[in-house]
Chains A and B, each alone.
Chain A
Amino acid sequence: MNTRRTKTQIYVDILRSVQRSRGRLKKTHIVYKANLTHSRLEEYLDFLLSKEFLVEEKNSKQIFYAITEKGSRFLGEINKLKEISEAFGVPL
């Protein structure tokens, strides 16, 4: 059985890990909570920041990533989109 996560599943995992940690998280924590390498996380973070699902928050020397309202809405809607694509046999 293929257990490789799809791109979208990884976006969801990142957003969920941030959401569950009071809405903001440091990059290192996202790496282990979403089970990714640093290099792969960069590529996914770029997408989530460009889509405004996450925003960077600078606090003295540390950088946090916080989930936006758009990101929370996306998490709510993703299940619906996943069900549609699965019903057509072309999983998201």
Chain B
Amino acid sequence: MHIIIPVWFYGFDSAMYFVSSIVGFLLSFYFYKIYSLSSDKKHSYLYLGFLLLSIGLLSLAITDLYSYIAFSNCHASCILGIIDDVFSLEDFAYLAYFGLSLMAYILFILAYGSESPKFSKGMLLFFVLYVILIAKFVPISGECNVWESYHGYFHLTSLIMLIFVSFRNVANYFEKKSLNSLLVMNAFIFISLFHVFHLFVFISGWMYVFAHISMLIGFSSLLLMVLRLKK
């Protein structure tokens, strides 16, 4: 599967990953503070989850920016060696991001499912088997980069995980009916949409743009929630 990225969008995605990672680090910091008070596992899962997600997003922001700068400097006279270096760096960053994000989403599921140990163990087992099956049996296409080959499977897996987390947050909103819980629910729904749009990036470059706008809306909702509390 090939990924279509509009040329005019180069750099914007990097900036969006960067902003999202900062918001993630901020939430990780708050959940660390909450965990240090409560010693509750659920809070530690959210703290570690946001931390891993932020590291993954930051690695993408840096690598994407580096690759765009490298390409814009070499223009038509690109030496094949430079392209290979950039792509192997992107492969590494994307695979790191895939791994860190999946770990983060598993931690989010544990945070919301830890009240029912049977359920969370079952979910965890299901996802571990699912990821192993994908890693073992999905062939890597020789025509694509490593990260492009795993792209669809990663976003599908992430979407399945985030649907569960989003449902828990929808339930929380209907229970609390507060603006803060609405913002968190909104955030998880838009981050899920990021993965939905990513599943269709081979159709049009706009899917890539919509995916990143969804991600930015999601993380902006979380930022707005934190800023409201600062007042």
Total count of chain A residues near the partner, CB < 8 A: 17
Measured between alpha carbons, how far is A8 from B37 in the docked complex, in Å? Answer: 6
Annotate A64-92 by CB proximity to B: 1 below 8 A, 0 otherwise: 00000000000001101101111111101
Annotate B88-126 by CB proximity to A: 1 below 8 A, 0 otherwise: 000000000000000000000001100000000000000
The answer to whether residues A92 and B30 also contact, given A86-B176, A87-B180, A87-B181 and a CB cut-off of 8 A, is no
Contacting A at CB under 8 A, from B24-75, are 27, 30-31, 33-34, 37-40, 42-43, 46
The answer to whether residues A83 and B39 also contact, given A89-B169, A90-B111, A92-B34 and a CB cut-off of 8 A, is no
CB of A6 within 8 Å of the partner chain: yes
Q: Are B169 and A88 in contact (CB under 8 A)?
A: yes
Measured between alpha carbons, how far is A81 from B27 in the docked complex, in Å? Answer: 11
CB of B201 within 8 Å of the partner chain: no
Measured between alpha carbons, how far is A11 from B230 in the docked complex, in Å? Answer: 22
Measured between alpha carbons, how far is A80 from B39 in the docked complex, in Å? Answer: 17
- Of A78, A89, A92, chain B has the most CB atoms within 10 Å of the CB of A89
Q: A83 to chain B: closest CB distance in Å?
A: 5
Interface of A is mostly: helix
CB of B229 within 8 Å of the partner chain: yes
Q: Are A80 and B111 in contact (CB under 8 A)?
A: no
Contacting A at CB under 8 A, from B142-185, are 168-169, 171-172, 175-176, 178, 180-181, 183-184
Residues of B in contact with A, size category: 20 to 34
Who on chain B is nearest to A90 by CB? Answer: B42
Q: Are B178 and A81 in contact (CB under 8 A)?
A: no
A92 contacts across to B, CB distance below 8 A:
34, 37-38, 40, 43
Q: B45 to chain A: closest CB distance in Å?
A: 9
Measured between alpha carbons, how far is A89 from B187 in the docked complex, in Å? Answer: 14
Q: B28 to chain A: closest CB distance in Å?
A: 12
What are 16 A-B interface contacts by the 8 Å CB criterion? A7-B37, A7-B38, A78-B37, A81-B30, A83-B180, A84-B30, A84-B225, A87-B172, A87-B178, A88-B46, A88-B184, A89-B168, A89-B169, A89-B176, A92-B37, A92-B38
Closest 8 CB pairs of A and B: A89-B172, A87-B180, A90-B42, A80-B229, A87-B184, A87-B181, A81-B34, A8-B37
List residues of chain B with CB under 8 Å of any chain A CB: 27, 30-31, 33-34, 37-40, 42-43, 46, 111-112, 168-169, 171-172, 175-176, 178, 180-181, 183-184, 225-226, 229-230
List residues of chain A with CB under 8 Å of any chain B CB: 6-8, 11, 77-78, 80-81, 83-90, 92
